[in-house]
Amino acid sequence: MLLAGLFPQGRPGDRYTFGKQDTRFSSAAQKILAAADRELTMRGMRRTARLGTRLWSLLLAVAGAILAFVLGTAAIDRGTHALLPVVVTVASIAALVVTIGLVSRRPLTALGAETRDHLRGLEEFIGGPKPTASACCSRRPVPSGCRST
C-alpha cells in the first residue's frame, strides 16, 4: 500500500524525496491506518464505546471549559489578579482537548488486549531495540553487542 501510494506508476528507478510539501506520503499512511482499523474491527479486536458514555464525557468537558472561561473573565473584570483565572481557563481547555482525544479512541476488546499483550511479550523476548550506530561510536563505554575500533 505504501509503495503504491508513493510510486503510482511503479516504474523501476523512480525516486521519492522526503521533506517536500507533498501529500502523497501522508495520504498513503492514512489509507494504511484506515485499512488497519477496518481489519482490527473485522477481526473483533476493537469495539466502539456507547454513544451515551462518550457524549456525557464530552458535554461535561465542554461545560467545564465554558464555565471556567466565563467565571475567569468575570473574576478578572471584578479586579482580581489575572493569573489564577487564566491558569484555570488554560487547564480546562487542555482538559477538553485530552477528553476529546480519549473519547475519539476506540477501545480494544478482550481479544485485542490479549493480542497486544502477546506482541509486547514477543518484543520483550526478542530483546527490544538494538544499540544504534551512534551508541557504538560515542566515547562512552562500549555497549554489549558493539565492536570497538
- Number of Cα atoms under 13 Å in the Cβ half of residue 73: 5
Note down pLDDT in tens along the chain; length 149 residues: 777 777 777 778 777 767 765 677 778 888 888 888 888 889 999 888 788 888 998 999 999 999 999 999 999 999 888 899 999 999 999 999 999 998 888 888 999 999 999 999 998 888 866 655 554 444 445 455 555 44
End-to-end CA distance of the chain: 41
Give the Cα separation of 146 and 131 in Å (integer): 8
pTM equals 0.55
Answer whether 28's CB lies under 8 Å from 6's CB: yes
Tell me the three cell numbers of residue 81.
489578579
